[in-house]
Amino acid sequence: MGKNNLQVISDFDWTMSKFYNKGDRTPSCHGIFEEAPNVTPEIQNQIRIIRQTYEPIEWDPTIPISMKIPLMVEWLDLTHKAIASSGMHKDALKASVNQWNIALRYVCIF
Q: Distances from the Cα of 66 to the Cαs of 12, 49, 63, 70, in angstroms?
A: 19, 23, 8, 8
Q: Distances from the Cα of 17 to the Cαs of 23, 24, 32, 54, in angstroms?
A: 14, 13, 13, 21
Which residues are annotated as catalytic? Answer: 11, 13
Q: How many CB atoms lie within 10 A of CB 19?
A: 10
Using CA atoms in the order 7, 81, 68, 10, what is the torsion angle rounded to 10 degrees? 20
